[in-house]
Structure 1
Amino acid sequence: MKIQRTKNAGRNIVFGTVLKVYNIVIPFLMRTLMIYQMGMEYAGLNNLFSSLFQVLNLAELGIGAALTFSMYEPIAKDESEKISALLNLYRKCFQIIGGIIFALGLLCMPFLKYLVNGNVPDNLNLQHLYFLYLLNTVLSYWLFSYKKSLIYAFQRNDINSKISLVTYSIQYFLQALVILKLHNYYLYVISSIAAQILLNLISAMVVDKTYPYKPVGKVESVVVVDIKKKVQGLVTNKIGGVIFRSADSIIISAFLGLVVLAQYQNYYYILSAVISIFTIIFEACVAGIGNSIITERKEKNYEDFCTLTFLTGILIGICCACFICLYQPFIQLWVGDENLLSISLIISFVIYFYVYEVDQLISTYKDAAGIWYQDRYRPLLSAILNLTLNIITIRFLGLYGVLYSTIISYIVLSMPWLLFNVFHELFFGMSVRRYILLLLKNIFATLLACVASYLICSKININGLQGLVIRLILTVGISGMIMIAVLFKSREFPPAYKLVRKLIKLRK
């Protein structure tokens, strides 16, 4: 079966972007409904269980990604028997993984009370609620989930995006009715379970019709060995990523309570929405970078690396300035003055965002070059450092301890180690000093942009939506001009300008 790579890539980007934006806007509205109709504690519970089951999903260990990757070659060669054998292995693995998650989830149940500081809403049983979330997670593995590997392997992610748009719409509609009319959190979670079942069933039917491969046969031992090696490289990346994403919420709930967790997550939700937009950009670049690594000289790839860092640095700087100037008026307009955090915490969020995006930028080149095995220890050890600092500092620094534990983990361990791996494996002999100086110049420009934007926006006395829009326009304009003015003399500016003009011409 011939794969139309360019056409598929275009469809994947379009529908992936639509789904990403949809999954930013609609959950934001749902969270707003929950806060106003049911209370901040319910939003905190939702964050807690979501984070907890991200940890339990570690049992997957990257097996899905490794198996899907292993299908690329037999699909290219149209080897139906090998595809069916890999599909069969995928099915067995996911049945086992679902069982392991279910068993681990039940073992965790007695310890739930230690993860919530303070009281749970009177009409809820924490264990019953937890079991519903556990069932939702397990069903995602047991109900034909393995068939979706064919969608990804044939580069038709757009099919999954379309199905997800339909099922998520049904889920959000039912959940909105539950919040507005019934105020029943159990039914809210059951609606999510129903949507998960529907998603898997529709996906299975579409796959059966589009790709009629049956899960039969046995995978050759040499292929199994290759899959195991890929899993070894991916597993620590997966574990480290989950700990970074989930540990903060669990620890805040355990030490500071559900209300503080919900307030923290209000801010983090906005941050993660912007992060997800950058993720789309980075994911869209991976394939092109990978092709360039194979076909172009090392020097050319290094120059592209610096150019991408320069352009991304400008976008990150503008976003940082927007966070500084817009966070408080937006939260005030959204959930009220009583849920505002201090400006010093806002600065902490901005620093967190900056170091996270730089780390993700460098990781894009790591992923494009397939440097997973060489990088296998970094994510895990960085996450362990973050978790240890979290537990130590939250007792006397509160939310500051949570944010700065993550920042320190990135700056002290994760980013230097990642840079070393990328330069050693991909850019050996290229100037690390030049790249670090580029990062420092971007940081300096971002600092100036944030300070100038904040000083000007602080003079605006207009509140509400009108004030928010005025601040947004001013901040984007001021920070953008300052970033470009400071970085104009950089050697990366001409190729960056040339690239932007090329992209604009392609869109016309």
Structure 2
Amino acid sequence: MKIERTKNAGRNVAFGFIQKTYQIVMPFIMRTIMIYFMGIEYAGLNSLFVSILQVLNLAELGVGAAMMCSMYAPIAEDDTAKICALMNLYKKAFTIIGWIILGFGLLIVPVLPKLISGEIPDTLNLYILYLLYLGNTVLSYWLYAYKNSLLYAHQRLDISSKVSLLTSTLQYVFQILVLIVFHNYYLYVIASITAQVLTNVLTAIRVDKMYPNYRPAGQVDKETYKEIKKKIQGLVTNKIGSTILSSADSIVISAFLGLSILAIYQNYFFIMSSVISILYIIYQSTIAGIGNSLLVENQSKNYNDFNTMTFAISWLSAVCCCCFIALYQPFMKIWMGDKYLLDYSVIICLVVYFFVLELDQLIGAFKDAAGIWYEDRYRPLVTAIVNLVLNLIMVQFIGLYGVLLSTVISLLVVGIPWMIHNVFSLLFTEQSRLTYCLSLIKYSIVTIVAGALTYCVCIRIADVGIVTLLLKGIIAVIIPMAIFILIYHKNSHFRRITVIAKRMLLRKSR
């Protein structure tokens, strides 16, 4: 079977961007409504349960990614029997994963109160609410989840995006009515469960119509099973590490600092994570191309691409950092009011956190494109453990600062240097990792200078509403852009990016 890669990729990017924008705007609206009509503690509870369930989702351990990779070859060869056997294995695996999540989720029930510092709303039963969230997660695995593998393997993510847009819209409309009219948080959660069930069922119906020949049946051969098992071994620590790194902060904040602080922190983190998710589209769009280049091009060319992408991401991240510095606090005043503001020093920590995380994702894109998960299997786990230990220690001495700085330290001291070592040891053996690290330091210094100058200019402009917010936004974009152009206009990577940008503009103008 020949897959229309270019056409499918175009559909995936288009609907993926629409869905990503939707997933940013609507949760922002929902969070605002929840805080204003229900209270800040409800938003904190929601963030806590989401973080707990992200940890429980570790039971998936990369099974989905490994299974989908295993489907590429039989789909290309029209091997229907093997595809059906893989679906059968996938179905059994997800059923077992659902039971594992349910079992571990129930074990957490007795210690739930210890994960929350302070009081919860009087109208809520913590245990009933948690079980509803847990049930939603378990159902997502049990109800035809294995059929999604066919959409991924056939490069038809636009189908799942369309279904998700439909069910999410129905969910948000009902949840808004529930929060504003009934002020009932239980109905709010039940709406999420209903939407999850509807999403899985509608996706399964669509998959059955598109691929009527594929049904879960038969057994995979021993060789295929061994290949899948090895892929899972390589992905498991990556998944564990990334989940702990992303979820530990919220749980630690809730346990030590309380739901109110968690909710206020999540307001800020929501904005930053939205920007991160938009930038992640760049990595998703380039990984396949990077992987192909690593196979067919020489090392020198690939290393040059690596440096060009590093420069581009550093420049883009610098612009984002300056925008955070200039706009975070004024935007929060308009959105939440002075009551729910964090100290400006916390914003600086968030900006550093963002810049370091982008560097980590950039290098990780080349690691993922090369498929060196097995060789990199220990790094994510060690990084996550260091982060968790520092979290638990530092939060007791410097509070929220300790939670943010522990992640920055774990990435700068353990995660990023280790990943650079792995990438250069396996991909860029003829290149100097010291030279590359020095370039990262230079970009970081330029970003600091741009951020400091942006702060000095914008701090002199009083916050009087949307107009000054827009003015500061313009300044925050112009300053880092001008500084990077001034310093790097003769740089080969700058010239290369300029050429690529001109080509893209010319194509659009035709």
CA distance in 1, matches of 2:439, 2:502: 22
Q: Greater CA deviation, 491-500 or 469-478?
A: 491-500
8 Å CA contact retained: 1:252, 1:261? yes
* 1:442 match: 443
8 Å CA contact retained: 1:251, 1:390? yes
Give the 5 Å matches for 1:286-435.
Answer: 286-435=287-436
Q: Deviation at 1:462?
A: 4.3
CA distance in 2, matches of 1:328, 1:313: 23
CA distance in 2, matches of 1:374, 1:462: 51
Q: Greater CA deviation, 267-276 or 446-455?
A: 446-455
CA distance in 2, matches of 1:442, 1:449: 11
8 Å CA contact retained: 2:115, 2:251? yes
SS at match of 1:492: helix
* 1:471 match: 472
* 1:57 match: 57
CA distance in 2, matches of 1:362, 1:331: 32
CA distance in 1, matches of 2:357, 2:398: 21
* 1:109 match: 109
C-alpha distance after superposition, 1:295-328 (max 9, x if no partner): 1111001001101111111100000000011000
CA distance in 1, matches of 2:285, 2:494: 22
CA distance in 1, matches of 2:507, 2:237: 39
SS at match of 2:124: coil
Q: Greater CA deviation, 377-386 or 483-492?
A: 483-492
Q: Deviation at 1:482?
A: 1.3
CA distance in 2, matches of 1:293, 1:397: 44
Structure 2 portions without partners, runs of 5+:
none
Deviating above 4 A after TM superposition, structure 1's stretches of 4 or more consecutive aligned residues are none
8 Å CA contact retained: 1:314, 1:484? no
Q: Greater CA deviation, 433-442 or 233-242?
A: 433-442
Letter in 2 for 1:292: S
Letter in 2 for 1:397: I
8 Å CA contact retained: 1:445, 1:487? no
Structure 1 portions without partners, runs of 5+:
none
SS at match of 1:55: helix
Give the 5 Å matches for 1:201-216.
Answer: 201-212=201-212, 213-216=214-217
CA distance in 2, matches of 1:108, 1:436: 42
C-alpha distance after superposition, 1:36-67 (max 9, x if no partner): 00000000000000000000000000001100
CA distance in 2, matches of 1:247, 1:490: 40
* 1:95 match: 95
SS at match of 1:71: helix
8 Å CA contact retained: 2:376, 2:419? yes
Letter in 2 for 1:326: L
Are 2:204 and 1:191 equivalent residues in the alignment?
no
CA distance in 1, matches of 2:359, 2:500: 20
8 Å CA contact retained: 1:330, 1:468? yes
CA distance in 2, matches of 1:462, 1:364: 39
Letter in 2 for 1:457: C
Give the 5 Å matches for 1:21-60.
Answer: 21-60=21-60
Give the 5 Å matches for 1:81-92.
Answer: 81-92=81-92
Are 2:25 and 1:9 equivalent residues in the alignment?
no
Query: What is the RMSD of the two structures over their aligned residues, measured on CA atoms?
Result: 0.9
Q: Deviation at 1:461?
A: 2.0
CA distance in 1, matches of 2:77, 2:48: 45
CA distance in 2, matches of 1:68, 1:4: 18
Letter in 2 for 1:445: V
Letter in 2 for 1:341: L
Q: Deviation at 1:184?
A: 0.4
8 Å CA contact retained: 1:328, 1:340? yes
C-alpha distance after superposition, 1:228-279 (max 9, x if no partner): 0000010101000110110000010000000000011011000000000111
SS at match of 1:386: helix
CA distance in 1, matches of 2:167, 2:155: 21
C-alpha distance after superposition, 1:452-498 (max 9, x if no partner): 11111111124111111111011111221112212224342222222
* 2:255 match: 254
Q: Deviation at 1:439?
A: 1.0
CA distance in 1, matches of 2:456, 2:434: 33
Q: How many residues align?
A: 508
* 2:20 match: 20
8 Å CA contact retained: 1:148, 1:203? yes
Q: Greater CA deviation, 86-95 or 476-485?
A: 476-485
Letter in 2 for 1:493: F
CA distance in 2, matches of 1:242, 1:425: 25
Q: Deviation at 1:435?
A: 1.4
CA distance in 2, matches of 1:507, 1:39: 47
* 1:148 match: 148
CA distance in 2, matches of 1:358, 1:500: 22
* 1:173 match: 173
Q: Greater CA deviation, 464-473 or 24-33?
A: 464-473
CA distance in 2, matches of 1:475, 1:319: 8
* 2:505 match: 504
8 Å CA contact retained: 2:3, 2:154? yes
CA distance in 1, matches of 2:105, 2:305: 45
8 Å CA contact retained: 1:442, 1:487? no
CA distance in 2, matches of 1:496, 1:5: 25
